[in-house]
């Protein structure tokens, strides 16, 4: 038997236990609610669009006849867009993060840049569209091209790539840097041989998650004038283009029910693409972590 | 820290120089060091004899590790660090115009916690030599370095295994081999045995004594028995000052200062 509680305590054990159960139930309900909304959405989309989903849908160009319409140009446009965006954003983002974490002196300039990058990550995407329209489409004369779109998207995801790369670098043990420096290595040699390989899983995760955000963005591309009806594939980065979210937006805006079902089918394709990217982020991270732990 | 010591007693006169044997390998002249506004080292002057083991002892926070890290410019990696005074290697200032990369190759460092690179044993040893442009026989250098660190016999058949497959003591000796592979003049060790068990510690101490034939060693240690066992010269620090520096056997039998005696007899620290 444990010693009796002194009289100055009012234990109310039963009450405390009940209150704990109530709180746990509330938290569970909150989780259930968000899950329910998501499941409803996915079920609705799948039920509506499933019957339209076949090989023809993936390999046909859009058409004003619903039976003949497909997402070929939008799917290919999205893949182009993601590839180009990654090519522009990843080197610039990683290089900026390396400068800020490994080179820059910790002064007012560093803090100013840091605060601004954090703020940029929260700027509405339509503003990036306006910037892209002024800077790339008009000023740089790229027109409504894939390239202008990719540069705009790169601007949009740069802050996230920089921040996640910085976090990956910051998580590395200081002893790793010190022991490499103590052998007479230059800063770049330390980065190249140790910091980049060790931070790779974190950097990759940030890159893929930010790219999967870019693949779902519509507003900035509509702003810079991506077309809603494209019946050809881009031959070069200077061609006009469309992407999946714009195609979906276009179809849902039509009055006919068939086109709404087509939109649902396109959403399924977009979701599969997103899930594939997130899955590859997880797999890549696991692969690199295993390689590192050997 | 103890408050039995009167603050004014800390401002003791500079210690007598160690008896001159050969020209000093390293020398520290009037070194002051700050982390931000906090002064961590106060006008330290000392000479380090070649091919000897010098031990730095003193209670936590006395500045012994900070001084060690001033000797190969590791403190520069910390923002807000500030240093005044001179540190000489073979009579040449390692600050000023000297290239920190060159300084750190000539003055190697082994850390408190074994921290091999997450690479193979072979790559761990050869990496430092590689970044410094080593063009000779890599296999021979790896073997020589591992032999000097008394690790060769244990790892010669598993050089391509990851360094993390080694025990803590083996990892620490791998870190020593890695440091020796760039052929430094001086090897600094920051409490190298504090993460090791007694058997691994004994082996490490043997290695240290063996190494002084070829290198000049400076070892920071919390363990006074260890300082007595391995070192030729001992320096005692207290709150950022060098209180006393003399031959180890003299320091441990006839300390000149009351505070040194109190510390080495275990009355504080």
Interface of B with A (CB under 8 A): 72, 74, 77, 79-80, 101-102, 104-106, 108-109, 111, 113, 115, 117-118, 127-128, 131-132, 162, 164, 175, 178-179, 182
The rounded distance, in Å, linking the Cα atoms of A251 and A258 is 9
Taking the domain A57-293, which CATH number applies?
Answer: 1.10.3720.10
3-state secondary structure at position A169: helix
> Residue A172 contacts by C-beta under 8 Å, 6 or more apart in sequence?
A194, A195, A198, A199
Whether B118 and A198 lie within 8 Å, measured CB to CB: yes
Q: Does A103 touch chain B (CB under 8 A)?
A: no
Q: B179 and A189: CB-CB below 8 Å? A: no
Contact A184 B79 (CB under 8 A): no
From the number of C-beta atoms within 10 Å of its C-beta (0-12, 13-18, 19+), residue B21 rates as exposed
Q: What confidence tens digit (pLDDT) does each residue in A84-123 have?
A: 999 999 999 999 999 999 999 888 999 999 999 999 988 9
Measured CA to CA, the distance from residue A140 to residue A110 in angstroms comes to 30
pTM of the model: 0.82
B161: closest chain A residue by CA: A294
- CB within 8 Å: B131 and A186: yes
Q: Which residues of A touch B79 (CB under 8 A)?
A: 105-106
Sign of CA dihedral A93, A98, A103, A109: positive
| Range A25-40 average pLDDT | 95
Mean pLDDT of chain A: 88
Q: Which positions in chain A touch B108 (Cβ < 8 Å)?
A: 182-183
Pairwise CA distance, residues A185 & A175, whole Å: 14
Mutant choice from B73, B76, B101 vs A, greatest count of A C-beta within 10 A: B101
Residue A108 touches chain B, beta carbons under 8 Å: no
Of A166, A162, A170, A169, give the one whose Cα is nearest residue A119: A162
Per cent of chain A over pLDDT 70 is: 98
For residue A174, give the H/E element and its range. Answer: helix A174-181
- pLDDT mean over A152-176: 94
Interface predicted TM-score (ipTM) of this complex, two decimals: 0.86
Residue B128 to chain A, least CA–CA distance (Å): 5
- Residue of B68, B72, B77 to mutate when probing chain A, most A C-beta within 10 A: B77
Question: Chain A closest CA to B6's CA: distance in Å?
Answer: 37
Could you list the pLDDT tens digit for every one of the 269 residues in chain B? 444 444 444 444 444 554 555 688 999 999 999 998 999 999 999 999 999 999 999 998 899 999 999 999 998 888 888 999 999 999 999 998 899 999 999 999 999 999 999 999 999 999 999 999 999 999 999 999 999 999 999 999 999 999 999 999 999 999 999 999 999 999 999 999 988 889 889 989 999 999 999 999 999 998 888 999 999 999 999 999 999 999 999 998 888 888 888 888 887 76
Q: Domain spans of chain A?
A: 6-52, 57-293
Query: What is the per-residue pLDDT for B117?
Result: 93
């Amino acid at each position: 038997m444990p010693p009796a509680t002194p009289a100055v305590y009012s234990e109310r054990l039963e009450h405390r236990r009940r209150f704990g159960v109530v709180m746990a139930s509330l938290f569970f309900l909150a989780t259930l609610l968000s899950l329910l909304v998501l499941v409803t959405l996915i079920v609705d989309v799948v039920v509506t669009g499933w019957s339209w989903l076949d090989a023809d849908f993936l390999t046909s160009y859009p058409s004003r006849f619903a039976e003949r319409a497909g997402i070929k140009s939008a799917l290919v446009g999205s893949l182009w867009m993601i590839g180009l965006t990654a090519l522009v954003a990843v080197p610039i983002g990683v290089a900026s993060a390396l400068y800020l974490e490994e080179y820059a002196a910790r002064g007012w300039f560093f803090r100013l840049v840091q605060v601004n990058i954090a703020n940029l990550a929260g700027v509405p995407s339509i503003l990036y569209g306006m910037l892209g329209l002024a800077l790339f489409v008009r000023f740089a004369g790229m027109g409504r091209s894939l390239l202008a779109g990719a540069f705009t998207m790169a601007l949009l995801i740069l802050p996230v790539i920089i921040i996640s790369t910085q976090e990956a670098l910051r998580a590395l043990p200081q002893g790793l840097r010190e022991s490499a420096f103590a052998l007479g290595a230059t800063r770049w040699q330390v980065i190249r041989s140790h910091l980049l390989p060790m931070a790779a899983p974190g950097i990759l995760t940030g890159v893929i998650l930010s790219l999967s955000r870019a693949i779902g963005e519509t507003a900035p591309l509509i702003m810079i004038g991506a077309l809603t009806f494209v019946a050809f594939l881009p031959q070069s980065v200077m061609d006009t283009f469309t992407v999946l979210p714009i195609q979906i937006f276009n179809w849902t805006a039509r009055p006919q029910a068939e086109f709404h079902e087509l939109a649902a089918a396109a959403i399924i394709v977009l979701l599969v693409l997103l899930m594939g990217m997130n899955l590859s982020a997880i797999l890549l991270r696991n692969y690199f972590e295993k390689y590192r732990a050997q | 820290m103890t408050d039995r010591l009167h603050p004014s007693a800390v401002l003791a006169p500079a210690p007598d120089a160690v008896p001159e044997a050969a020209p000093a390998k390293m020398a520290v002249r009037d070194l002051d060091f700050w982390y931000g506004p906090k002064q961590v080292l106060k006008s330290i002057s000392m000479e380090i004899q070649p091919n000897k083991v010098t031990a730095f002892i003193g209670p936590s926070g006395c500045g012994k590790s900070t001084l060690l890290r001033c000797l190969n410019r590791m403190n520069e990696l910390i923002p807000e660090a500030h240093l005044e005074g001179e540190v000489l290697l073979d009579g040449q200032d390692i600050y000023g115009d000297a290239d920190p990369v060159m300084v750190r190759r000539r003055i190697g460092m082994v850390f408190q916690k074994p921290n091999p690179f997450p690479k193979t044993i072979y790559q761990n040893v050869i990496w430092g030599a590689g970044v410094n442009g080593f063009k000779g026989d890599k296999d021979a250098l790896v073997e020589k370095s591992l032999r000097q660190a008394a690790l060769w016999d244990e790892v010669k058949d598993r050089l391509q295994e990851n360094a993390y497959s080694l025990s803590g003591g083996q990892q620490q000796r791998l870190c020593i081999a890695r440091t020796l592979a760039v052929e430094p003049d001086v090897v600094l060790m920051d409490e190298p045995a504090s993460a090791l068990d007694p058997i691994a510690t004994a082996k490490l101490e043997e290695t240290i004594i063996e190494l002084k034939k070829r290198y000049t060693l400076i070892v920071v240690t919390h363990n006074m028995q260890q300082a007595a066992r391995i070192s030729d010269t001992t320096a005692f620090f207290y709150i950022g000052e060098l209180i006393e520096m003399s031959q180890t056997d003299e320091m441990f039998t006839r300390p000149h200062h009351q505070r040194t005696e109190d510390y080495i007899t275990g009355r504080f620290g």
